[in-house]
Structure 1
Amino acid sequence: MSSSGTPTPWSYAFIRLLFRFVLKIFYGSIVVEGTHNIPKTGRPCIVCANHSNSLTDALLLVTSIPPKDRNMLRLTAKATQFGQRTFTSWLIESAGTVPIKRRKDYVEGSVDNTDIMQHLMEALELGDAICLFPEGMSRYHPTIAPLKTGVARLVSDVLTRNRNNPDFEISVLNCSVTYMHRQHFRSDVLVSFHPPMTFSPKTHPELLAPIDYNNIRLLTTQMHEQISSGTIDSPSWDLVRVAKLAARIYAPLGTRMSLGDHVRVVRAFLEAFKAAEDGPEVDGEHPEEDEKTPAETAELAQLRLDLRTYQDQLARWGIKDDRIRRQPLPRHTILSRIIVRLTWSLCLFSISFPGLMLWVPVFLTTFYAVHNFKKTGPIFDTWDEIAQYKLIYGLMSGLCVWFGSAVVTFPFTVVTFLLVPALMWMTLRWLEDAVSAFRAFSALVRLLLVGKPTLRAMHVRREDLHARVMRLAVETLRLPEDSEAYFARHGGKEKGRVRGPWESGSRYFSIKRRRKRDWNETLRLYDVVDYPKE
């Protein structure tokens, strides 16, 4: 077994660099956790992750694994994407990706991946890392599909081939990928690498041939549990929506918590509501102290219903929970803030206007491509590829704008070649702040339209929900009682942890990225809180 693995192809290094840049533009924040869990180059490793965003998932894994830890990650992709005269096909093939045949793509013929599995085993024995998505297919759905047993069988086959090598080890590195809004521009992504599951012929003889298939199923179940433990895995979009609202009530807007903490808090509430939906266990798998009484189950179900009704009303008004959290503002205060927000928004839109002329072809191209693509199939089978289409078409049209500007401005091409990408990036930063200011202006206008008596009644209703959510969080879920104080100390650095007015202002005007107050934020004139119908 080589200690250096397969050398990194130049095309792979180029693609990794290119899409690290593209992904950082498309997504506002890409937060990576657990990189210390990644086995070093030369140690056989299978990287497994949930699969909800097509090619974008693979690109995120490639760019999230530090090159100093792994020189390359050998990808796999459905065989139908190979051999086509498209940029996507070239991209996949030039990165050393291995084609996998799926039964759904070959309904009328047989599917044989024997040669592919042989190739993957040889790569692992060289000390390479390969990437597999054990769900078997990408889909736009709130829950992780049951994992197929291919990874566990591959581990078994590799161990069996090396059963006489006592030093041989292979790791399964499970990863959870969580998109706040997977297809929306400037949304956020969490990539969490879990502690690796390491196997050897000496420590896991039960995985050597001849094998009891129950051991394969057990390993697959353990992988599913680890992957789902780090992401928002829900049986319905409605539960995701309610859990996010409960998390926002528990840790209100502006709480300085990392994206990882935010996802874990949402998941804690989600698991509580799922337990209430499933009802009490009757098979004896859970200890009695974890079982809920019928009264507790009914209380959770009622809380879920009340939270949904509350969110529906907020969505109709077009305002956030944060506007209801405090007592209604006096009319003159709202009017003064409306003027400030509108003025600031117009100023930012004004200075963004020249750069927006460069962005318009990019936005129009991606909008047209995605609009046509959505017509090709149902939501669950097409929406998982929207981000991929936006990335590819955005990249191609952006490059055309960049090089086209350089050609048109000859003989000042050298200056334009450097100035255009800098102007486009600064325009994007100004645009983010302008859109945020406009959203605040719109929300304040709606507060005036709703009226103080209605807002006061809604505030009372929210106080009741807050008390019930806090009781669930503290007494049942064992979350910290004072979320704002706790996460201010432990919340990480990704979301503008500032110490004083000067640092706050410098972070707000940072060129690198916007200091978000809300991980749910995207570059849209309205807040995204609703999901596709079930």
Structure 2
Amino acid sequence: MPGPRTGSSTPYSYILIRLLFRFVLKIFYGSIVVEGQANIPKTGRPCIVTSNHSNSLTDALVLVTAIPPVDRNMLRLTAKATQFGQRSFTSWLIEAAGTVPVKRRKDYADGITVDNTDVMEKLMEALELGDAVCLFPEGLSRYHPTIAPLKTGVARLISDVLTRNRNDPDFEISLLNCSITYMHRQHFRSDVLVSFHPPMTFSSKTHPELLAPIDYKHIRQVTAQMYEQISSGTIDAPSWDVVRLGKLAARIYAPLGTRMRLGDHVRVVRAFIEAFKAFEGHTDASDDDEKRPELPELRLDLSKYQDQLTHWGLTDERVRRPTISRPLIFARMVLRFVWAWCLFTLSLPGLVLWTPVFLTTFYAVHNFKKASLDSLLHGCLTDSDPSRLGKPIFDTWDEIAQYKLIYGLMSGLVVWLGLSLVTFPFSAITFMLVPALMWMALRWLEDAVSAFRAFTAHLRLLLVGKSTLRAMQVQRKELYPRIMDFAVNAIGLPDNPEVYFTRRGGKEKGRVQGGWEFGTRYFSIKRRRKRDWEETLLYDVASLDLLDYPNEE
């Protein structure tokens, strides 16, 4: 009888990497909200962690930092074999974390046999020790609004490891499916939702149909269950247009900003998307159209309203509020501008320290995009990665966050440690002062940008003119009861969202209760109180509509 499984010991390099990227992820993303941590099996229980894969290496780093060390001592990662053995920080990072290389047929020339037998053997041995293994069943990272069909490799791995341990009645393996939702995956100070679903548990006693010899339909059934769980916790749409409409409908239905939990916001958006996507590409009447004849027309009217908002650079929140007088608009503009200038001046000393970081990441991303564009235009490889050949330019955007994180971390460490060395014998003071000053400068910059954004929003109200603004308000007033009726009677959402969602659940980052706390949270040192989960540092909701939804045609 085998003894209790304790899992592999955690390498020091893995501990260092986890600490580094917990730090850099908290800086790059405004908040990373984790749901369902109680569903994570403890160390010593064989576990496969799977997730959707839309943000390259960043997905793995988010999972590593989202799983508490008290629950799992480490998460064994996998990555494509072409990322190993390179003279780059990324390659060192992947290898130092104990990542297992996986060969993909698309990464090798025709005629080369891809053999992952050794890889599967290592993964099964890790599972038998009680480790957790991370796999991305889509098989590749992609910048698309929909989840790709899942490969069957995870289900086959479960079958193989169960067959190897069929004589051990106590051997169980858990499949922990996770959904990662980036509000805007590559933009600074955006937000991330990580949702762990209840694990699926397999053993030779409960699932004898997965033991060899196996009928392949059972492999497909497990894969289908995985897809259902993963897609249920994130935004999965057939096109970017459906994503735009789903987010707009959710904002009209529940204009709560961060008083609504991030998880609730994502689920409301997803509810509208699930209803809309059934009609994606449909121009003729169908059975669904007969059941909900108002939906195609509602989608069309929402699209027209969204086009108006994008054209004028306005958000739905600005249109929803009653029109205010021009003198009051001018007064608010002056106040916002002065406040923005004061905060920006206050943050200038720290921004000097941030400048090398911003310039380095900008240069790295610019070169990356240029290389991707050259590959697209000339049909030749510029980065020795055959998987990029023939991909549309926006399909390389899944790696932008990875470049920003890695180059930002490297340049930030150089600034921090370099100043500590240069200021000797006061290095101990500088070592503590530099990160504190950089963090406060970032917080003041966030407030300054927010104030200036409010200034430009009021300026747009003046430029739009009263007649156009009134026409848009009429559009919204006509849409609102239709959205509410559809949300409540067709989708089954609560009929009083502003009461239901503000009272629902406990506190989390970004969500506040009570007027005093809602106002004072703006000045929090830890995190600025956002007005909308779609908000980032440098872009508002209106501009993100243009930046994040590429034209796939």
Deviation digits for residues 430-456 of structure 1 (CA, Å, limit 9, x no counterpart): 111111111111010110111112211
Q: Distance in 2 between matches of 1:9 and 1:496?
A: 34
Which of 378, 382, 395 matches 2:409? 395
1:426-441 residue pairs with structure 2 within 5 A?
A: 426-441=440-455
* Corresponding residue SS for 1:3: coil
The alignment's C-alpha RMSD in Å is 1.8
Kindly state the Cα deviation for residue 254 of structure 1 after the two structures are TM-superposed: 3.4
Q: Distance in 2 between matches of 1:254 and 1:267?
A: 16
Kindly state the Cα deviation for residue 344 of structure 1 after the two structures are TM-superposed: 1.1
In structure 2, the residue matched to 1:480 is 494
In structure 1, the residue matched to 2:388 is none
Q: Distance in 1 between matches of 2:289 and 2:532?
A: 36
In structure 2, the residue matched to 1:53 is 55
Which of 180, 183, 186 matches 2:183? 180
Kindly state the Cα deviation for residue 388 of structure 1 after the two structures are TM-superposed: 0.4
Which of 151, 163, 166 matches 2:169? 166
One-letter code of the match for 1:529?
A: D
Which piece of structure 1 moves more, 209-218 or 374-383?
Answer: 374-383
Q: Distance in 2 between matches of 1:88 and 1:497?
A: 35
Gap regions ≥5 residues in structure 1: 283-290
In structure 1, the residue matched to 2:269 is 266
* Corresponding residue SS for 2:271: helix
In structure 1, the residue matched to 2:69 is 67
1:313-332 residue pairs with structure 2 within 5 A?
A: 313-332=308-327
In structure 2, the residue matched to 1:251 is 254
In structure 2, the residue matched to 1:529 is 545
Contact 2:238–2:280, Cα closer than 8 Å, also in 1: no
Deviation digits for residues 83-135 of structure 1 (CA, Å, limit 9, x no counterpart): 11211111111111000001110132110001110110111011110000000
Kindly state the Cα deviation for residue 409 of structure 1 after the two structures are TM-superposed: 2.4
Q: Distance in 2 between matches of 1:71 and 1:497?
A: 30
Give the number of aligned pairs.
526
In structure 2, the residue matched to 1:347 is 342
In structure 1, the residue matched to 2:300 is 305
Residue 391 (structure 2) pairs with residue 375 (structure 1): no
Kindly state the Cα deviation for residue 155 of structure 1 after the two structures are TM-superposed: 0.4
* Corresponding residue SS for 2:371: coil
Deviation digits for residues 122-170 of structure 1 (CA, Å, limit 9, x no counterpart): 1101111000000001111111000000000000001111111111100
Q: Distance in 2 between matches of 1:437 and 1:253?
A: 19
Deviation digits for residues 346-368 of structure 1 (CA, Å, limit 9, x no counterpart): 11111011111111111011001
Provide TM-score, normalisation by structure 2.
Answer: 0.92
Q: Distance in 2 between matches of 1:395 and 1:277?
A: 41
Moved over 3 A (4+): 295-298, 495-502
Q: Distance in 2 between matches of 1:346 and 1:296?
A: 55
Contact 2:180–2:234, Cα closer than 8 Å, also in 1: yes
Residue 364 (structure 2) pairs with residue 361 (structure 1): no
Kindly state the Cα deviation for residue 414 of structure 1 after the two structures are TM-superposed: 1.7
Residue 332 (structure 2) pairs with residue 337 (structure 1): yes
Q: Distance in 1 between matches of 2:331 and 2:496?
A: 32
Q: Distance in 1 between matches of 2:516 and 2:545?
A: 33
Kindly state the Cα deviation for residue 343 of structure 1 after the two structures are TM-superposed: 1.3
In structure 1, the residue matched to 2:107 is 105
Gap regions ≥5 residues in structure 2: 373-391
Kindly state the Cα deviation for residue 526 of structure 1 after the two structures are TM-superposed: 3.7
Q: Distance in 1 between matches of 2:266 and 2:203?
A: 34
Q: Distance in 2 between matches of 1:86 and 1:48?
A: 27
Contact 1:27–1:185, Cα closer than 8 Å, also in 2: yes
Which of 64, 87, 90 matches 1:88? 90
Kindly state the Cα deviation for residue 279 of structure 1 after the two structures are TM-superposed: 6.1
In structure 1, the residue matched to 2:428 is 414
Q: Distance in 2 between matches of 1:380 and 1:347?
A: 38
Contact 2:78–2:135, Cα closer than 8 Å, also in 1: yes
Which piece of structure 1 moves more, 502-511 or 110-119?
Answer: 502-511
Contact 1:44–1:171, Cα closer than 8 Å, also in 2: yes
Kindly state the Cα deviation for residue 468 of structure 1 after the two structures are TM-superposed: 1.1
Residue 9 (structure 2) pairs with residue 14 (structure 1): no
In structure 2, the residue matched to 1:285 is none
* Corresponding residue SS for 1:137: coil
Identity %: 74
Deviation digits for residues 199-229 of structure 1 (CA, Å, limit 9, x no counterpart): 0000101101110001101110110011000
Which of 118, 124, 131 matches 1:121? 124
1:406–1:275 CA distance, 2 compared to 1 (3 A): same
Q: Distance in 1 between matches of 2:288 and 2:114?
A: 49
Which piece of structure 1 moves more, 249-258 or 460-469?
Answer: 249-258
Residue 461 (structure 2) pairs with residue 447 (structure 1): yes
One-letter code of the match for 1:182?
A: R
Q: Distance in 2 between matches of 1:340 and 1:51?
A: 44
1:365–1:142 CA distance, 2 compared to 1 (3 A): same
Q: Distance in 2 between matches of 1:304 and 1:326?
A: 23
In structure 2, the residue matched to 1:195 is 198
Contact 2:289–2:296, Cα closer than 8 Å, also in 1: no
In structure 1, the residue matched to 2:239 is 236
Deviation digits for residues 240-274 of structure 1 (CA, Å, limit 9, x no counterpart): 01100000000114361111000000000000001
1:368–1:38 CA distance, 2 compared to 1 (3 A): same
* Corresponding residue SS for 1:28: strand
One-letter code of the match for 1:382?
A: T
In structure 2, the residue matched to 1:288 is none
Which of 497, 510, 517 matches 1:503? 517
Which of 23, 27, 32 matches 1:30? 32
Deviation digits for residues 37-79 of structure 1 (CA, Å, limit 9, x no counterpart): 0111100000000001111000000000011110110000000
Contact 1:376–1:382, Cα closer than 8 Å, also in 2: no
Which of 460, 467, 476 matches 2:481? 467
One-letter code of the match for 1:361?
A: P
Kindly state the Cα deviation for residue 503 of structure 1 after the two structures are TM-superposed: 2.5
One-letter code of the match for 1:309?
A: K
Q: Distance in 1 between matches of 2:306 and 2:488?
A: 22
Contact 2:52–2:136, Cα closer than 8 Å, also in 1: yes
Q: Distance in 2 between matches of 1:525 and 1:159?
A: 49
Contact 2:421–2:427, Cα closer than 8 Å, also in 1: yes
Contact 2:258–2:510, Cα closer than 8 Å, also in 1: no
One-letter code of the match for 1:364?
A: L
Which of 138, 145, 150 matches 2:148? 145
Contact 1:255–1:484, Cα closer than 8 Å, also in 2: no
